[in-house]
Amino acid sequence: MKNKVKKILLIFILGITLPFITAFTNSEPQTLYRVYLKGESIGLIKSRTALEEYIDKRQNQIKEKFGVDKVYLPEDLDIVKEVTFDTDISSIKSIYKKIENISPFTIKGYAITIGAVDSQAADGTKIKGKKQTIYVLDRKVFEDAVDNIVHSFISEEDYNNYANDTQEEIEDVGKIIERIYIENKITIKKENIPVDETIYQDSNTLSRYLMFGTTEDQQKYTVQEGDTIEDIAFNNKISTEEFLIANPSFTSTNSLLYAGQEVTLGILKPQFRIVEEDHVVFDEETNYQTETQYDNTKEVGYSEITQKGEKGITRVTQKVQKVNGETISVANVSSEVLKEPVNEIIVRGGKKSSYIGYGTAVATRGQWGWPATCSSISSPFGYRWGVLHDGTDIAGCGYGSNIFAALDGTVVQSGYKYDNGEFITIDHHNGYYSMYAHMVSGSRRVQVGDYVVKGQVIGSMGRTGAATGVHLHFSIWNGFPYRGGRALNAMSFY
């Protein structure tokens, strides 16, 4: 009985499977191509070339938009050769339909990667650099755009002389560019670019992006009667350098404006860092000291200059580093005194009068003393990158060089702050305050409550706090700094 059951089951199984085995053994395997979109199979096709040609033929709109001769497969489309018995073959048209609304097609071009470089904000905080990739069809578009940016920060004449090694040697004073380079690592690779990416086809549009971080039109301003370039720049929170870069038809801040003229007010956001390293030699005037002598035979209030002061001249050699046109480092190499200053001697009356009406003199132009041993200004007062630089940076005097009180007054701050580093603030009792920042750690010679006189050494020049190099950040305020006071351009007091 059991044997009969086994025979019946065997006949039943053979009856089901035999047709499939026969069909399988009678068919031949085919070499086909399996199409994967975003990692998922979307069908089998007979010819990869046929799909590529079909896509290229159907995408005339892309060809016209970008001015190219051929359109290629999407980046996330893979076509894998497969030997199979599967007979479920898709048409080229059906595969195309599955692709066209999901993944963008590609065209030949160049992917340019700009590496990240960290930087520092005005308040000392670290700005994390951003790595990015931009796309062009023609490599020359990128090269021309970079040239445009370089020439925005470095004059074409200076750049060409540097590139062609035709700079004039320095005989007495002058400047030689020792090196120009882009700090970011830049790689250029030819590849297929998805057509939904931003693809730059002309250097002017790419230049705008590389300079301002956007291709959108920048804000415009209509010049009013009496406007100057400095006024327009300051009132719109940009530096005069930014104004000149955004408006290349103006050659200097002294260029004439006329009412009704339209100018551009773009805040620069360069997408890479162009570094210029200079060797500079210049003659610097050194201030004379004023000696006061008292004659007790003369009434108080009497004043006579018995020896006129004369400024000295010192020849200074410096290494200067600029990033995107902004000086970030000044290092003194040497200095040579060409002419010693002659001190001014003032004789004042020392005989007291019975009249009791003398008050504190109010500071006016010419009364303020210079706060450093040198006069090189690495960064002036004003807006840069949309942020107010509320002081004047004096550099090149050397690490540890003396810092002087600019006017008599009482020390109201003497300490450390993350952005100012070691700093001192003096109240001059006339509504004005002066502040001295980035001193050498431990070099502050005066404390809160001390009374100081003009020319008194109060500390040493350093780079504490948010400082990229050795310098003094010197500022004058109408009112207490950062407590309701208003920052003024210190240079207007000299």
pLDDT of residue 120: 67
pLDDT of residue 351: 62
Instruction: Kindly report, residue by residue over 198-210, the tens digit of the pLDDT.
Output: 999 999 999 999 9
What is the band of 299 on the pLDDT scale with cuts at 50, 70, 90? confident
Q: Is the pLDDT of residue 295 over 70?
A: yes
pLDDT of residue 296: 83
pLDDT of residue 86: 85
Distances (CA, A) of 203 to 149, 156, 181, 194: 11, 17, 20, 20
Q: What is the dihedral of CA 445, 447, 453, 454, to 10 degrees?
A: 60
pLDDT of residue 285: 86
Instruction: Kindly report, residue by residue over 329-378, the tens digit of the pLDDT.
Output: 888 899 899 999 998 898 877 665 433 333 333 333 358 989 998 888 98
Q: Which helix (H) or strand (E) holds 203?
A: helix 203-212
pLDDT of residue 248: 81
pLDDT of residue 8: 44
Q: What share of the chain is helix, strand, coil (3-state, %, to 5)?
A: 20, 40, 40
Place of tokens 């999407």: 74
The span from the CA of 265 to the CA of 246, in Å, is 7
Nearest to 366 by CA among 454, 425, 488: 454
Q: Is the pLDDT of residue 317 over 90?
A: yes
Global pTM value: 0.73
What is the band of 11 on the pLDDT scale with cuts at 50, 70, 90? very low
pLDDT of residue 25: 44
Helix (H, G, I), strand (E, B) or coil at 400: coil
Specify which residues 364 forms β-bridges with. none
Instruction: Kindly report, residue by residue over 80-127, the tens digit of the pLDDT.
Output: 999 998 889 999 999 999 999 899 999 999 999 999 988 766 555 677
Instruction: Kindly report, residue by residue over 48-83, the tens digit of the pLDDT.
Output: 999 999 999 999 999 999 999 999 999 999 999 999
Structural domains of the chain, with CATH: 29-103 (no CATH), 107-172+182-218 (no CATH), 221-265 (3.10.350.10), 277-358 (2.20.230.10), 366-494 (2.70.70.10)
The span from the CA of 240 to the CA of 231, in Å, is 9
Q: Is the pLDDT of residue 326 over 60?
A: yes
Mean pLDDT in residue range 23-32: 70
pLDDT of residue 114: 96
Of 6-10, 307-311, 462-466, minimum mean pLDDT range: 6-10
The span from the CA of 57 to the CA of 51, in Å, is 10
What is the band of 13 on the pLDDT scale with cuts at 50, 70, 90? very low
